[in-house]
Structure 1
């Protein structure tokens, strides 16, 4: 298991690196227990479905690129936003590209490590 993230600013680059290198366990280690995500279609999914999405993206040779992050952190909670681009090969074999501006919430766990608790890749646009 990777070393816990000690600064929420480190979460987006760590997530990008884990996804792009195809390391599903590392991606999952960056997610808090009880994590939820609002998908680009507006559906809210929990950890198991999020795991399946990440595995599918990795299988499709996902390439995630996060722009500079904006982070506002309090004691044990942080708001994180950044522009992102994701390219992935779909089941039909065609490469697809999506972009957005995220609005995520991270929280610090009992081990002092920061993890994503709420993922909203389209921010207020969705």
Structure 2
């Protein structure tokens, strides 16, 4: 499934596959502010390799996305209880290393989303964990 996504009006929905499409579009846009808008102000993300929140999270996301990484992911499971949702995805991330080489990271991510009073879902916890890391030759 591929959702029609407006990068200027990002909304996570009740559908985990659409949520995944929105998340991917925001991430692959390379625009940290757009991707960070999917998070609560107090959300925690270890996308940088350590759990960060607030401005430190925003800065780490912006710096990473400025390098134009490429992310794909597939929803493996989704559990929703009221206004809280747990989504588990397998991901494949290609990043540029400081020396200019490319690296491929495969792993799993557990995301916790919460629905606000406005009815919109936002990320509360983003926890990617790498299973393997390999240099890409080419």
TM-score (norm: length of structure 1): 0.84
The structure 1 segments of at least 4 consecutive aligned residues displaced by more than 6 Å after TM superposition are: none
CA RMSD of aligned residues (A): 2.0
User: Residue in 1 aligned with 2:28?
Assistant: 20
Higher RCO, 1 or 2 (CA under 8 Å, sep at least 6)?
A: 1
Q: Which runs of 5+ in 2 are unaligned?
A: 1-7, 131-138
**2:126 corresponds to 1:115:** no
Alignment of 1:1-126 (within 5 A): 1-7=8-14, 9=16, 10-39=18-47, 41=49, 43-122=50-129
Q: CA deviation at 1:46?
A: 0.8
| Greater gyration radius | 2
C-alpha contact 1:11 1:30 (8 A) present in aligned 2: no
Higher normalized helix content (fraction of residues): 1
- 2:102 and 2:67 map into 1 onto residues whose CA distance is 9
Q: CA deviation at 1:86?
A: 0.9
User: Residue in 1 aligned with 2:136?
Assistant: none
TM-score (norm: length of structure 2): 0.77
Higher normalized strand content (fraction of residues): 2
